[in-house]
């Protein structure tokens, strides 16, 4: 089990971001923010897909004017994404955004950043300080020679100190890079030096296939170090597609498991059952299941149930049949056409047992 880095706890709308709370999944709309209804529809699809905080870019007053409408329809926090124009940050705070993401490096003069921070402090709005290599301060570039992880971290720490100086405590930081080793190093360094929660992501990760792999490598490595309090998977696709990838990264790192994990063998020449079909059916039937349970689906009994001793429930295929086991112990043999039903029944039994245990634990 990964031990999370201790952070301060930052309320953002109804969510609290920090080490004492689950790592949250967020994403960003890609509709035109002036399109009030189109953006609202996309927000709804994202939330339906599991997005727990939605970020929308606010580049102009027309977009800012839509914030109260979107917010009135949302059950998750609304985050305004601001670049260059500090007036838009002020407008978003005024319009009721739960969090405003600014990149102080492209906001301009310190006085403008201060104005935004003071408005956020007065209104209780959380601030995400986003740092990236493209907008690093000149003196840090000169000192470090290039936007190195150390330079990015120094920049982030400097912005955090400034925000705290202004009296803003609800701060989250992101240090993003499209380079996986650089992102891992920068987040690790920041994590060692600060108690501010981190939003973690690999920017411009790419198309859904490569982007998912790149995000898993980068975000996964950072999460396994106990760092990261919210994550975003950035894919060149509809944002709804990012959520399953994000939850799978959380699941396979063991950082947050809110659905079953299906462990399946790659199959080989020994196989005597249609494993792909079985795995597909199990996955489909458990699509809405929220039980954190490990299900092992193996093509044969070469290594038997022993190989999947860690699994809560599993099947090892044979000729037209399967050996059903729980926690490494064989329960019974089932016909191939009954394997899926048998697994689902056992999972329902595990769910009932865990519910009974939870009730017993709560009993005086
Ligand atoms: S579990 Fe059996 S079928 Fe699956 S890969 Fe291993 S040896 Fe092959």
**List of residues 6+ apart from 147 with CB closer than 8 A:** 133, 134, 136, 141
pLDDT at 258 over 80: yes
Q: What is the mean pLDDT of residues 139-168?
A: 96
pLDDT at 308: 66
Q: What is the CA radius of gyration of the chain?
A: 23
**List of residues 6+ apart from 77 with CB closer than 8 A:** 12, 13, 14, 15, 52, 53, 54, 98, 99
Residue 25 three-state SS: strand
pLDDT at 108: 85
Q: What is the mean pLDDT of residues 14-28?
A: 98
pLDDT at 327: 87
pLDDT at 68: 98
Q: Considering only CA atoms, which of 85, 79, 77, 142 is closest in space to residue 108? A: 85
Q: Considering only CA atoms, which of 260, 263, 264, 261 is closest in space to residue 275? A: 264
Residues 201, 10, 195, 167: is their CA dihedral positive or negative? positive
Q: What is the mean pLDDT of residues 121-142?
A: 93
Most confident of 86-90, 142-146, 265-269, 272-276: 86-90
Query: What gap in Å lies between CA 276 and CA 264, rounded to an integer?
Result: 9
- Mean residue pLDDT of the chain comes to 94
Structure tokens at 72: 């009135």
Asked which of 68-77, 150-159, 225-234, 270-279 is least confident by mean pLDDT, the reply is 270-279
pLDDT at 66 over 80: yes
pLDDT at 328: 82
Q: What is the mean pLDDT of residues 97-121?
A: 95
Q: What is the mean pLDDT of residues 39-53?
A: 98
Q: What is the mean pLDDT of residues 296-314?
A: 81
pLDDT at 305 over 70: no
CATH of 10-252, one of 3.90.1530.10, 1.25.40.340, 3.90.1330.10, 3.20.20.20: 3.20.20.20
pLDDT at 338 over 90: yes
Of the chain, the end-to-end C-alpha distance in Å amounts to 29
Q: What is the mean pLDDT of residues 162-182?
A: 95
pLDDT at 284: 96
For domain 261-362, give the CATH superfamily: Sulfite Reductase Hemoprotein, domain 1 (3.30.413.10)
Question: Pocket of ligand 1, candidates 263, 266, 268: which has the most ligand atoms within 8 Å of its Cβ, to mutate?
Answer: 268
pLDDT at 218: 96
Asked which of 27-31, 83-87, 293-297, 307-311 is least confident by mean pLDDT, the reply is 307-311
Residue nearest atom 5 of ligand 1, based on CA coordinates? 267
Q: Rounded to the nearest whole angstrom, what is the distance from the C-alpha of residue 271 to the centroid of ligand 1?
A: 6
Question: Pocket of ligand 1, candidates 270, 297, 306, 308: which has the most ligand atoms within 8 Å of its Cβ, to mutate?
Answer: 270
Residue nearest atom 8 of ligand 1, based on CA coordinates? 268
Asked whether the beta carbons of 48 and 253 are under 8 A apart, the reply is no
**List of residues 6+ apart from 29 with CB closer than 8 A:** 39, 42, 43, 46, 54, 55, 56, 57, 239
Q: Rounded to the nearest whole angstrom, what is the distance from the C-alpha of residue 343 to the centroid of ligand 1?
A: 19
Per-residue pLDDT band for 132 (boundaries 50, 70, 90) equals confident
| pLDDT tens by residue, 228-255 | 999 999 999 999 999 999 999 999 999 9
Atom of ligand 1 nearest to the CA of 303: 1
Query: What gap in Å lies between CA 8 and CA 169, rounded to an integer?
Result: 9
Phi, psi of 179 (to 5 degrees): -95, 120
Lining ligand 1 with CB less than 6 A are 265-268, 270-271, 298-300, 302
Asked whether the beta carbons of 342 and 333 are under 8 A apart, the reply is no
Per-residue pLDDT band for 304 (boundaries 50, 70, 90) equals low
Atom of ligand 1 nearest to the CA of 301: 2
Q: What is the mean pLDDT of residues 286-297?
A: 94
CB 343: neighbour CB atoms within 10 A?
26
Per-residue pLDDT band for 1 (boundaries 50, 70, 90) equals confident
> Over pLDDT 90: what percentage of the chain?
86
pLDDT at 314: 92
Name the segment(s) of the chain with CATH classification 3.30.413.10. 261-362
Question: Pocket of ligand 1, candidates 262, 263, 267: which has the most ligand atoms within 8 Å of its Cβ, to mutate?
Answer: 267
CB 88: neighbour CB atoms within 10 A?
24
pLDDT at 301: 81
Name the segment(s) of the chain with CATH classification 3.20.20.20. 10-252
Q: What is the dihedral of CA 190, 192, 196, 202, to 10 degrees?
A: 40
Strands 24-28 and 313-317: unpaired
């Amino acid at each position: 089990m990964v031990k999370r880095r201790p952070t301060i706890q930052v309320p953002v709308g109804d969510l609290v971001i920090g080490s004492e709370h689950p790592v949250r999944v967020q994403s960003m709309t890609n509709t035109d923010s002036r399109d009030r209804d189109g953006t609202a529809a996309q927000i709804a699809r994202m939330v339906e897909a599991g997005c727990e905080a939605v970020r929308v870019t606010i580049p102009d007053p027309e977009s800012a004017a839509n914030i109260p409408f979107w917010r009135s329809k949302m059950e998750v926090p609304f985050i305004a994404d601001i670049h260059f124009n500090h007036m838009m940050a002020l407008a978003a705070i005024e319009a009721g955004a739960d969090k405003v993401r600014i990149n102080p490096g492209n906001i301009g003069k310190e006085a403008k950043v201060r104005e935004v921070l003071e408005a956020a402090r007065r209104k209780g709005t959380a601030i995400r300080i986003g740092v990236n290599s493209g907008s690093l301060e000149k003196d840090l570039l000169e000192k470090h020679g290039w936007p190195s992880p150390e330079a990015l971290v120094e920049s982030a720490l400097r912005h955090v100190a400034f925000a705290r100086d202004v009296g803003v405590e609800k701060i989250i930081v992101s240090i993003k890079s499209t380079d996986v080793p650089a992102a891992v190093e920068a987040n690790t360094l920041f994590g060692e030096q600060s108690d501010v929660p981190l939003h973690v992501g690999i920017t411009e990760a790419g198309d859904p296939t490569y982007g998912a792999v790149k995000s898993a490598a980068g975000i996964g490595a950072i999460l396994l170090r106990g760092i990261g309090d919210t994550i975003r998977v950035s894919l060149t696709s509809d944002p709804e597609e990012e959520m399953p990838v994000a939850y799978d990264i959380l699941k396979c790192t063991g950082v947050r498991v809110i659905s079953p994990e299906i462990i399946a063998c790659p199959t080989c020449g020994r196989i005597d059952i249609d494993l792909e079909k079985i795995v597909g059916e199990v996955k489909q039937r458990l699509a809405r299941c929220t039980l954190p349970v490990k299900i092992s689906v193996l093509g044969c009994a070469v290594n038997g149930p022993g190989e999947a001793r860690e699994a809560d429930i599993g099947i090892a295929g044979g000729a037209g049949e399967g050996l059903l086991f729980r926690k490494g112990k064989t329960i019974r043999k089932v016909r191939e056409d009954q394997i899926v039903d048998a697994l689902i029944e056992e999972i329902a039994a595990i769910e009932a047992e865990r519910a009974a245990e939870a009730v017993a634990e709560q009993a005086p």
